[in-house]
Copies of this chain bind each other. A is one copy, B any other.
């Protein structure tokens, strides 16, 4: 549609029906389908070749249901993150084939389960309390075309436990590594594997963990060269980038 409008402008220029000055102004305006509260940008999904993603924070159940309704005709897979319990109920009632993952606050339509990645992806969590963030990453990776290997509860204070799983992760194309408290797991994993490690700090911990700030700083200062970092608790972002790497 966007292309269509642009082509119309250029057609008008070609036909002499529009001045150059007017054309210049107009071609900077892109079309949107206006739902009122959120301009759905179908183009993003098309541009990136990705499923639609809806950030559920601060949206009402009604809005969530309506947004899903508009997206469904055009998308096989839809990922809704940070979904409130109320929206979970409303979505369940509205759509029978929606999948609700309460632990990680994700709702999704995962209808196209064809594989999109070229290899293996791994999602790690240092402790059981880091699992919600890890599951958000895993749910994201799944709707983007890879079923990741999940390895949970492998924190560095029991480093010998990590080695029981090492063989399985050596051939991954990317690893999402979630950890709270001191957040050292990505450094250790990064020093062992040859692929990119996407570190996700979680808010797990007490006292001077400052809701994930300590883990965040640990990860940013990793002495392993293959570690990059996303925001505290941003399992979605980590899963998204891991999927991009696996599709690239």
Q: Which residues of A contact B (CB under 8 A)?
A: 3, 6-7, 10-11, 13-14, 16, 20, 23-25, 27-32, 37-39, 41, 43-44, 47-50, 53, 57-59, 82, 126-129, 131, 152-161, 163-167, 173-174, 181-184, 187-188, 190-192, 194-196, 198, 201, 203-210, 212-234, 236-238, 240-241, 244-245, 248
- With CB as the reference atom, state the residue of chain B lying closest to A155: B223
Q: What's the number of copies of this chain in the assembled complex?
A: 8
Question: Cβ of A208: which chain B residues have Cβ within 8 Å of it?
Answer: 212-213, 216-217, 220-221, 231-232
Question: Cβ of A192: which chain B residues have Cβ within 8 Å of it?
Answer: 159-160
CB distance from A31 to the nearest CB of B (A): 7
Complex contact A222–B10 (CB within 8 A): no
Nearest first, the 6 closest Cβ-Cβ pairs linking A and B are A207-B232, A184-B184, A157-B191, A214-B217, A228-B228, A58-B129
Question: Cβ of A41: which chain B residues have Cβ within 8 Å of it?
Answer: 158, 161
Complex contact A128–B188 (CB within 8 A): no
